[in-house]
Amino acid sequence: MRLAVVLTEEVVDKRRGWERRGGGQRAGGNVNDRWPDPVSYKHLVKGLGFKVSDSPLAWSSSSRNVSDQLKVPNLSSDGRSLSVTVCRAKNDLRQVEDGEENGALISSAQFACWAITAIYVVWLFILPYAPGDPAWAISPATIQMLIDLSLNFFFVLPFTAYFAELAGIHGLAPVLHPMDEGLFNFVIGWSLLFAPLLFTDRKRDRFGGSLEGLWVIQMFLTNTVLAPYMAIRLNREKANRKKNSWENSLSGALTRGAKYLGLVGAAVGAISVLWALFGRPDGGFGGIEERWVYLLEYINRERLAYAFIWDIVLYTLFQPWLIGENLGNVREENRELVGVLRFVPYVGLVVYVLGLREEVKKV
């Protein structure tokens, strides 16, 4: 309980006459009581004869009788009064304020996020040492693969082509290795689920840029932008920026429809895994063992696949961090479950999105 004691100027006279009138005798205390030199609010209140509860619970404003918590003695012996104001702070889900956080830990976390960003950009985009071609020397084959994977976005064309072939229509969707398609759509589905988490992040106001634009880049271009956001959101100052109409429309739609987005994300994740292991059974791609061998070879020869593995690792790190700081956004009956499952890659984000409170969705 936070307690503020406001003393009027008469306190000076009362202190001077405290011992002359018999110390705490008239205040219901012992004759040997002395008015202490206050070094904290607790010393001051106890010196006045108050009995203070040591309960750690916060109090909300209420008109109920709190005499069981504070016993205030009668101190107006000469017509002068002692004014006491008790202020109670309501307990809130956001118990950890920025000023109470460990500054050194925040600085270390920010440094780590910026370091990850630098390594990601330099190692994956610029240097030629990672598997595959760097961005400045990308091959036509890689570009064609990107186009084909984009056409098979969320398996819409492959499933459409399957039913079209039953009707005698062929060639609607590019035929790729199921592992390529499964890995691509798994990462894209995970990126989709990050939208409600970012738009309901309690520290999103530290980011001065367009959070909606950042998510669009994360979703459709590169996941490089998430690590800088994780660093910027640790700033203490809030950024003053007004959203554009399209930003409000996008974030509002994705948060209000979080339940449906969570179901879509869950379906895409499950289908991606199943498709990678069992998709295109008549295509000559082999069984699970052959597909696993292909995946390892694919990661070690193609920069795109290698970058997807980096994205999965970073998402696995950032997901429990972000969800853990925003558990208050989840319905109370689901909060414990989300707190446990947030450490499970992909799954934790699905249950967070599905468990969002309705009032939180009104961003």
Find how far residue 242's CA is from the centre of its chain: 21
pLDDT at 66: 39
281 and 135 both lie in a single domain: yes
In this predicted structure, what is the pLDDT of residue 102?
A: 75
In a shared domain, residues 199 and 270 = yes
What is the predicted pLDDT for the residue at 47? 45
Residue that is last in its domain, among 91, 123, 140: 91
Task: Say whether both 292 and 332 belong to one domain.
Answer: yes
- Say which DSSP state 301 is in: T
pLDDT at 336: 96
Q: For the full predicted model, state whether its pTM sits above 0.75.
A: no
Same domain, 26 and 135: no
Kindly give the confidence (pLDDT) of every residue in the chain, 363 residues in length, as a single tens digit, with 9 standing for 90 and above. Answer: 433 333 334 444 444 554 445 544 444 444 444 444 444 444 444 444 444 444 443 333 333 443 344 444 444 444 444 444 444 444 444 444 445 557 889 999 999 999 999 999 999 999 999 999 999 999 999 999 999 999 999 999 988 887 877 776 776 788 899 999 999 999 999 999 999 999 999 999 899 888 999 999 999 988 899 999 999 999 988 877 677 777 788 988 999 999 999 999 999 999 999 999 999 998 899 999 999 999 999 999 999 999 999 999 999 999 999 999 999 999 999 999 999 999 999 999 999 999 999 988 776
Last residue of a domain, one of 91, 118, 134: 91
User: For residue 60, what pLDDT is reported?
Assistant: 36
User: In terms of domains, do 36 and 174 share one?
Assistant: no
d(CA 213, CA 46): 56
Residues 6+ apart with CB under 8 A from 62: 88
Number of folded domains that form the chain:
2
Please check whether residue 271 is in contact with residue 155, taking contact to mean a CB–CB distance below 8 angstroms: yes
Domain end (from 45, 67, 91): 91
Burial of 151-166, coded b for 16+ CB within 10 Å and e otherwise, reads ebebbebbeebeeeee
Q: Calculate the alpha carbon distances from 317 to 113, 230, 321, 344 in Å.
A: 11, 11, 7, 10
Contacts 24+ apart (CB under 8 A), 317-323: 318/226, 318/227, 318/230, 319/345, 319/348, 319/349, 320/348, 321/230, 322/197, 322/198, 322/201, 322/230, 323/197, 323/348, 323/349, 323/352
78 and 206: one domain?
A: no
Residue 59: give the domain boundaries.
Answer: 1-91
